[in-house]
Structure 1
Amino acid sequence: MRFRAAAPDTALLALSATEVWATRSFGGPVSLAFACLGTAALPLRRRFPLTAYATTLPALALGYIWFSPMGTLYEISAGGAARERGTLPRRTLRPAMSGWVSGRALLIGGCALLAAVVNLVPWPFRDPVTWSLSDTILAVMLSALLAVAPTALGLLASSRRELTGRLAELAASREREHALAAEQAVVRERARLAREMHDTVAHHISLIAVQSGALEATAKGPQARAAASAVRELSRDALDELRRMVGLLRLPAATAQELAAGPGLAGIPALIAAAGPQTHGDLAVVAEGADGEPPAEVQQAAYRIVQEALTNVRKHAPGARTRVRVQRSGAELLVEVRNGPGTQPSPAALPSGGHGLAGLRERAAQLGGEFAALPGPSGGFVVRARLPLLPDGRAG
């Protein structure tokens, strides 16, 4: 790519040097010196096009040099003068930019006219010129060609560059429109899910809470009242969490992510207590210390892993002895729920989509961690996860 970018400059420099060598005997030592100076100024034409252009004018006036002034004039027409000033405004059809366009047009036109006049008007150091009609016409045509050709090519290059920029802006604008349309579709889908959850799930959970409250009031035995009270409390907690999730679904995606932290490590003891006397917990997590508190997303993932694992124990192995361990080990948080075989008859099968463990595995993978769920050696089940405490799963 660098070779292709430098090829035009190298070719122009070679042509100008060849022209100087071919005309070295036409004008004497002064003309040759200015011709060499004009050729030497060509590498500067991209950063200082006006300076390079002024350096080539004496060579154009005193000798037979064309390539160096044409090259610098092309660079001015292509926008090099604006780059020398440090700004390159983009042309537009709006009237607000007409002043800049006029100033640039005057600059280009003035440089082209100056090149034509310098080439046409005889100077004292050049040979006498006969002003016959044919000679004058040829001189005017050659001077016009010298000025118009590089100017037209430079303007064409500038327009091409501007068109490329506009096409890039158009492509970027279309990408932004597509992204906005996709975001709006996500917002509409989130709103639809929020309505469905509120109209169906929330309705049924509310009925469960009401019925369990009535059952608690009419139950005769203490065990029945305790069971009804537990159902009512669980229903109320589920309803509160469902309402929180519905509220998050109705928020913009970015805001919802910031507010969706949910329960963390502080809620795990309540889960263990609600699971029954057969469940024990070892919570060796340093909430505050040299390493600070674990990130909110890690705490939420640990809470959900424990919650789902205890729910599965109650569904598939009721009465089983269960041990919950949440321990911080270096830059990782170890979460493990281990249960033995069930000691009570399994309840009636509950509806299940089979997505619980898959969702936990996805949570751990999003945090850069590991997740495993496998049968235990004594007939029970083990759910284990390692969650990194540093961003992107980088430890240490």
Structure 2
Amino acid sequence: MTSLMGHITAWWHSGSRWPAVLLDATLIAVAGADLAFNQMPGNGWDDIVLVAGVIALAVRRRFPLAVFIATLPMPLLMGQSAASLIALFTVACATRNRWLLSGCALVYAGLTITPWWGGGDILAESAWPVWGVYSLAPAGAAVFLGQLLQTKQELSRRLEEISEVREHEQALATQKVLAQERAHLAREMHDVVSHQVSLIAVRAGALQVSTQESISKEAADTIRTLAARTLDELRYMVSLLRAGGGAGNGLAPQPTLDQLDELVDNAGLQARLETGPLPELSPPLQRAIYRTVQEALTNARKHAPGAAVRVQVAQDDGAVLAEVINTAPNRPVMPLPSAKHGLIGLRQRAELLGGTFEAGPTNSEGWRVALRVPLKTMS
């Protein structure tokens, strides 16, 4: 039984429109039954007015005050009316105007008493309290329940807002702790690991110069080269840690230049890749080139549909140049939102590597993206 009630409650609060439709149909049925059992004898026009008041409840959520006014003839023709009380309850759920609610309740009570005004008993002094309670109590109850439900809904919304604020504050606190940990790791890597790797490179260089054996020279050269490359990686990682990191800095395998062919082939564009002879590039530089080409192809696909794209990666005047140029679009361009965060990230990557980044239009109404990193920064 508890499980069934739980499923019903979950369905009722699921946001579907069917619970509201079911509730409105039930209330219309209750008002119709009340009309059928308590209707006083009258002419055909009275019946039409009474039935119209019941049917008007179907739009009570959208026009609460208008529906209440439409049901006011019902207490005048039949005394207490369930349809009018339901409409008054709906008005109380929709507004905080106490003057309006008080006026609606008094109007309903007055119309409820009016059919009995011709009797002599109602004029007796002892009968006024009874008739007052009889007319005002249902109206007061409808207003009270409507205001109570409105307050409950507002409290629920407020609790949801408080929960969202607390979750946001918790996320900010977590980010602050992570930032402090990243800063601590960056200091340790810079002050301890980088220092020791630098010493390894210096000692390996000294050994390479002082020894006469070819095997020892080759081993020392290998150690010095690996140490220098490790220092490049450490500098790059320290820069990333100090920059704040983020969700994108995961542990997934990072792309290299070997994957450029696949990236260009799967770009969904008329793109061709041109590569020249390159020296052995560090992993951070390979990642920067890959991300530059990836972002440029993405932008070309979004903002230059049907354009031809040329991707070139080669040496150029003592530097490594990664250049992506697309022609003008030959199909209508769909306006898409863009915050240019991708280009900002590419420029930051270039600065971390000691290079430059350019992005701008060409003379032929196309677009050019270029990353240039001097080779001397990798030595």
Query: Shorter-normalised TM-score: what interval?
Result: 0.5 to 0.7
User: TM-score w.r.t. structure 2 length?
Assistant: 0.58
Give the alignment of 1:6-155 within 5 angstroms: 6=21, 8-79=23-94, 104-120=97-113, 122=114, 128-130=118-120, 131-155=123-147
Does the aligned pair in 1 maintain the 2:264–2:272 contact within 8 Å? yes
| Count of residue correspondences | 257
Q: Relative to structure 1, is the Cα distance of residues 284 and 6 closer, same or farther in structure 2, using a 3 angstrom cutoff?
A: closer
Distance 2:205 2:264 in 1: 40
Unaligned runs of 5+ in 2: 1-10, 13-17, 274-281, 288-379
Q: What CA distance in whole angstroms lies between the structure 2 residues aligned with 1:15 and 1:172?
A: 40
1:144-176 deviation per Cα after TM superposition (whole angstroms, max 9, x unaligned): 113211000000111111111122222222222
**Cα distance in 2 for residues equivalent to 1:214 and 1:13:** 96
- d(CA) in 2 for partners of 1:202 and 1:50? 75
Which structure: larger Rg? 1
> Structure 2 counterpart of 1:167, which letter?
L
Equivalent-residue separation in structure 2 for 1:171 and 1:59 (angstroms) = 45
* Cα 1:152/1:286, change in 2 over 3 Å: closer
Structure 2 distance, partners of 1:247, 1:14, is 70
8 Å CA contact 1:287–1:293 kept in 2: the answer is no
1:175-194 aligned at under 5 Å gives the runs 175-194=167-186
Aligned to 2:242: 250
TM-score normalised per structure 1: 0.56
Alpha-carbon distance in structure 2 between the residues aligned to 1:54 and 1:165: 30
Q: Which residue of the partner structure matches residue 163 of structure 1?
A: 155
Question: For the Cα contact (< 8 Å) 2:57–2:83, is it kept in 1?
Answer: yes
> Contact (CA 8 Å) 1:202, 1:239: kept in 2 or not?
yes
Matched-pair identity in %: 32
1:229 lines up with 2:221 in the alignment: yes
CA distance in 2 between partners of 1:37 and 1:204 (Å): 90
| 1:35/1:65 contact within 8 Å kept | no
Q: Partners of 2:260 and 2:187 in 1: how far apart? A: 40
Partner Cα distance (1:210, 1:64) in 2: 103
| 1:353-392 pair list within 5 angstroms | none
- Given the superposition, is the C-alpha separation of residues 256 and 240 from structure 1 closer, same or farther in structure 2, using an over 3 Å criterion? farther
What is the rounded CA distance, in whole Å, between the counterparts of 2:76 and 2:151 in structure 1? 31
Pick aligned residue for 2:232 from 225, 240, 246:
240
RMSD in angstroms over aligned alpha carbons? Answer: 3.5
